[in-house]
Amino acid sequence: MNRRLSDTTLNTTHIERPPQHTFEEVERPIDHANVIFIHSEPHLLPVAQFALRKAKHVVLFGAEKCEFHELETLLELAIESKSYLVNGDSLLFNPVIFPMIKSFESTEMTTLVSNRFRKYISRRQIFSCIEFLLYSNKSPLKNIFAKGVRLNGKRLNVLHARLEFENEVIAVLELSNTKENPKLQIESAGNGNWMDLDLLTFNGHYYHYADEEQAEVKPPKQIFPQDRSSLSHLIQFVELELEHLINPHRQFENSLQTAKAIQTIEEQLRRGLPNFTHFEK
């Protein structure tokens, strides 16, 4: 894939809610852009497909609302037209994760904890968490184990998921709505390194254990990202990094695998929770 995103600047068009417009009115701004930012509402998916057929790059928001076959169709169109397709909601672009993404390559165990007090555990929340856990490990997913708990009422209060990969790496997801303080935190360990990242306050710690027998333990590296905008990281990824990747479609392929993983989790929860059908979008 050798077509550049732009010559000097990134020309973008953001399509959010155009149902009152004719398709021709949407077509004009698409023709003048090389990257289309678009939401996943059903009436906009044909616009996303149209943009890909026109060989435009597409950044999709709300991938968790799409059916698996809809995401698959978009990816097939992107590959056919040699366009890039990106999940714009990925935690990859979180300001504290994005600069540290290389550090996840040697991870052997990752734990992601999310708590939203008195908020229902939504498909969007689960999708973003699992999407990153899959993205941070390049090995195929081997096994998934999920357990949900209702404390009172019809909605889930706690969800535990364990993801096992073929390279023996383990990822654990803990979602809840039971604690008053909101939380979105990742801890990872592997190859002498340990990270603790707070995705809400955008700070963290990075430890490197060179020798367990050393007399003094060096203090951790404090992580305070200078750029605290997820959007700027998304644009940097699209404009500067995608074309240099061996597989530039891996990020969106990962979204398809996330949709499959959520289907597996829902199937397991249906066996253990009365009247559970699927996660609310």
Instruction: Give 149-174 pLDDT, tens digit per residue.
Output: 999 878 899 999 999 999 999 999 99
DSSP string spanning 25-55?
HHHHHHHT-SEEEEE--TTTHHHHHHHHHTT
Structure-model confidence comparison of residues 42 and 168, the more confident one? 168
Q: What integer is the mean pLDDT of 135-156?
A: 92
Confidence of residue 15 (pLDDT cuts 50, 70, 90): low
* Mean of per-residue pLDDT scores for the chain: 89
Q: Which fold has domain 95-229+260-272?
A: Dihydrodipicolinate Reductase; domain 2 (3.30.360)
| Residue-level pLDDT at 28 | 78
Confidence of residue 20 (pLDDT cuts 50, 70, 90): low
Whether the pTM exceeds 0.85: the reply is yes
- CA–CA distance, 233 with 248 (Å, rounded to integer): 16
Q: What integer is the mean pLDDT of 58-65?
A: 95
Q: What integer is the mean pLDDT of 46-55?
A: 93
Residues of the chain with CATH 3.30.360.10: 95-229+260-272
CA 121 and chain centroid, separation: 16
CATH says 12-89 is which class?
alpha beta
Two structure tokens written together for 108: 């052997």
Structure-model confidence comparison of residues 166 and 17, the more confident one? 166
Confidence of residue 225 (pLDDT cuts 50, 70, 90): very high
Residues of the chain with CATH 3.40.50.720: 12-89
